[in-house]
């Protein structure tokens, strides 16, 4: 799935893990949990049948931009958690795809390993190429609606992250 859609799950994951009253408790544990959940969420999204509605270059640029904007907007005390969420949601692609993409774009010769994460293997990946993308479009819409719903549902925690 496009990086932007993976990143879109980072805020919902963070606000689901954080409880309003125990937000300061066990920070290290929460940062780790959020990172691992981000990786798991990446797996779920990649296993769902999907096309790539956003061209790769724009996806990478917008993804980087979104990360910078979220980093700047989030309150300092929650920055590490949100960074862990964003890192987790894109970590599998960084591990399995980054060197191949860099080699392809820049003509470098970085080492490319076998894919580590099973949802990047042909058997389990939901990647669709040259196929009908209507189901993929529906799944993308459902994802965005879920992201918005969780942010609305956990708006009290969202306010802790971004409120001034």
The nearer residue to Zn ion, 92 or 161, going by C-beta atoms, is: 92
> Rounded distance, CA 35 to CA 20, Å?
19
Q: Is 46 in the site for Zn ion (CB under 5 A)?
A: yes
Q: Which listed range, 39-47, 67-75, 83-91, 102-110, lies at the site for Zn ion (CB under 5 A)?
A: 39-47
Q: Which residues contact 87 (CB under 8 A, 6 or more apart)?
A: 35, 38
**What's the closest the beta carbon of residue 141 comes to Zn ion, in angstroms?**
20
The nearer residue to Zn ion, 59 or 93, going by C-beta atoms, is: 93
x/- letters, 83..112, toward Zn ion (CB under 5 A): ---------xx-------------------
Cα–Cα separations (whole angstroms), residue 31 to 2, 34, 66, 77, 100: 24, 5, 20, 12, 29
């Amino acid at each position: 799935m496009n990086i932007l859609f993976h990143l879109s799950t980072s805020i919902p994951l963070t606000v689901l893990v954080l409880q309003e009253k125990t937000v300061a408790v066990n920070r290290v544990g929460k940062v780790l949990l959020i990172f691992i959940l981000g990786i798991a969420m990446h797996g779920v999204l990649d296993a769902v049948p999907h096309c790539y509605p956003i061209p790769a270059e724009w996806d990478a640029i917008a993804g980087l931009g979104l990360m910078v904007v979220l980093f700047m907007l989030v309150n300092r005390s929650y920055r590490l958690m949100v960074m862990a969420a964003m890192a987790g949601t894109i970590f599998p692609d960084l591990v399995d795809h980054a060197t191949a993409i860099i080699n392809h774009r820049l003509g470098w010769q970085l080492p490319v390993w076998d894919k580590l994460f099973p949802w990047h293997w042909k058997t389990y990946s939901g990647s669709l190429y040259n196929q009908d993308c209507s189901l993929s479009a529906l799944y993308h819409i459902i994802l965005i609606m879920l992201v918005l719903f969780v942010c609305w549902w956990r708006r009290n925690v969202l306010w802790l992250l971004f409120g001034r």
